[in-house]
Amino acid sequence: MNSYRQVDEQTLHQLQEILGPHNVSTDEEKRLTYSKDEEGDLEILRLPDVVVFPEHTEHVSHTLRLANAQRIPVTARGAGTGLSGGAVPLFGGIVIAMEKMNQILELDLENLTITVEPGVVTDEIQKAAAAHGLLYGGDPCSSDASFIGGNVAENAGGNKVIKYGSTGAHVMGLEVVLADGSITTFGGKHVKDVTGFDFVHLMVGSEGVLGIITKIILRLLPLPKHIVDLLVPFSTVREAIAFVPKMIMEAKLMPVSIEFMDNASLQLTQRFLNTKLPFDSAGAHLVIELEGSDKETLADDYERLGKLCMDHGALEVFIADNRNTRLKIWKARKAIAEAISAFYPHYCMEDVVVPTSKIPALMDRVDEISRKYSLPTINFGHAGDGNMHVTFLNAETDSPRWETQIKEALHELYQCAIDLGGTLSGEHGIGMKRKPYLSMALDPVQIRLIRNVKKAFDPNWILNPGKIVDKEAEGSV
């Protein structure tokens, strides 16, 4: 498959003419920075030949036109917070780093939209919307660092999916540069559109293999007036997890978030942040967020929910109804991934997803896999939508058994998720990491369709090659 050309001196000179010398780098240290993402497997690393920093859409267009003509692979890169090796330039070539395309172009109060470039940090979009009494509902745990372009490319989920949906639920329009350098626009500010195919949501989650996104139109919503978080400890993981589907059915409420942390994840993040949460010896904690426009109605809701928690075995219910206490809880939850990378030289963070009612069965099976392979796990995630971050840990810097163990453990974990009616990934994507396992989740017909769509958008296969599918038929795991 690797018939790609490398970037030679002549191509490098052409790139400098297109983007300006200050936006083209072959510095080895800089190339190393753009050779990996935050996936814990240190072997998922490839040096690009060159990194370029476009400042506008035409820079991207001309770069792709050159690369396509010369059959040079191109990988789009956001903030590098991905967890699947999706932004790793597997075949070298050109990395297009989007950090200079970082402008909020328009906040349209009449149509409740915000138009942004892909290099805008997600938090900045949330802050800009909030300043006008509006809400951008996308809230991945990496929102303080991740770029919106990466969120769209991976269809990032996060904490508010139960009520607001994943990133794709908020994307109304996209400007996209295709592999041949042509520029097109999908969707727009209109709410309905059945004119042709839904290319907007084909692009969302496509991991940069179909085109490079250069502008994004996002839907905004009214900002809720009141928010309350409940921190609810349980004696065991099973009690906490088993309560999640019961909560929604019995309380007849739609929380914004239902997040789960087992004891190991809580202990690690407390150590990392040098902080403490109540009942930190409990087997597991749930973080439940509610919001509303009427303070009294919201109080009635969380009191009713609190009673339901206690009836189902909660050790206590802690109410966080002010900004400081809410931030303390969410800081602990959002820091888990960073804490893992800080303390473990090798780890494997997964994001399998199952129907919510099957989470208890999934966690029982995770415990069996952990014992079978002597691999400690930290388990946390988005319990309200069945998306669990099962993380296998290895504290040893040199562990020859790790590679074999983790492959076997992953195969069993993925098979378990599929058997329970779920799939390999809820939000992190396939990338390089899960590509060998794709045939476990998708039949040959679907894989052929994916390959054919890729070929239609990118006939020369230059865009992020080696991700999701290859040209050739993939073998079984």
CB 193 within 8 A of CB 448: no
Is the pLDDT reported for residue 396 higher than 50?
yes
Taking alpha carbons only, the member of 107, 215, 99 closest to residue 152 is 215
Is the pLDDT reported for residue 218 higher than 90?
yes
How does residue 3 score in pLDDT terms, banded at 50, 70 and 90? confident
How does residue 258 score in pLDDT terms, banded at 50, 70 and 90? very high
Taking alpha carbons only, the member of 385, 463, 465 closest to residue 425 is 385
- Domains, the chain: 9-97 (3.30.43.10), 104-222 (3.30.465.10), 226-336 (3.30.70.2190), 344-434 (3.30.70.2740)
What is the C-alpha to C-alpha distance for residues 231 and 463, in angstroms, rounded to an integer?
Answer: 44
Rg (CA), the chain: 23
Please report the pLDDT score of residue 476 as a whole number.
Answer: 37
Q: Is 98 helix (H, G, I), strand (E, B) or coil?
A: coil
Average pLDDT value for the chain: 94
Q: What is the pTM of this model?
A: 0.94
Q: Which two tokens stand for residue 408?
A: 């076997």
| Burial of 416 per CB tally in 10 Å (0-12, 13-18, 19+) | buried
pLDDT digits (tens, 9 = 90+) for 425-435: 999 999 999 99
Strand order in the sheet with 171-177: 104-108, 113-116, 212-219, 171-177, 183-187
Strand order in the sheet with 50-52: 24-25, 50-52, 94-97, 74-77
What is the C-alpha to C-alpha distance for residues 217 and 125, in angstroms, rounded to an integer?
Answer: 11
Please report the pLDDT score of residue 275 as a whole number.
Answer: 94
- How many Cβ atoms from other residues are within 10 Å of residue 346's Cβ? 18
Is the pLDDT reported for residue 477 higher than 50?
no
209-229 average pLDDT score: 97
pLDDT digits (tens, 9 = 90+) for 82-135: 989 999 999 999 999 999 999 999 999 999 999 999 999 999 999 999 999 999
Q: Which two tokens stand for residue 301?
A: 């809701």
Is the pLDDT reported for residue 306 higher than 80?
yes
CB 125 within 8 A of CB 77: no
383-392 average pLDDT score: 95
pLDDT digits (tens, 9 = 90+) for 51-93: 999 999 999 999 999 999 999 999 999 999 998 999 999 999 9
Strands (E), 243-360: 257-262, 284-292, 318-320, 346-349
Beta bridge partners of 285: 233, 261
For the chain, the farthest-separated pair of C-alpha atoms sits apart, in whole angstroms, at 71
Please report the pLDDT score of residue 87 as a whole number.
Answer: 94
CB 437 within 8 A of CB 414: yes
* Terminal alpha carbon distance of the chain: 20
pLDDT digits (tens, 9 = 90+) for 180-207: 999 999 999 999 999 999 999 999 999 9
CB 218 within 8 A of CB 172: yes
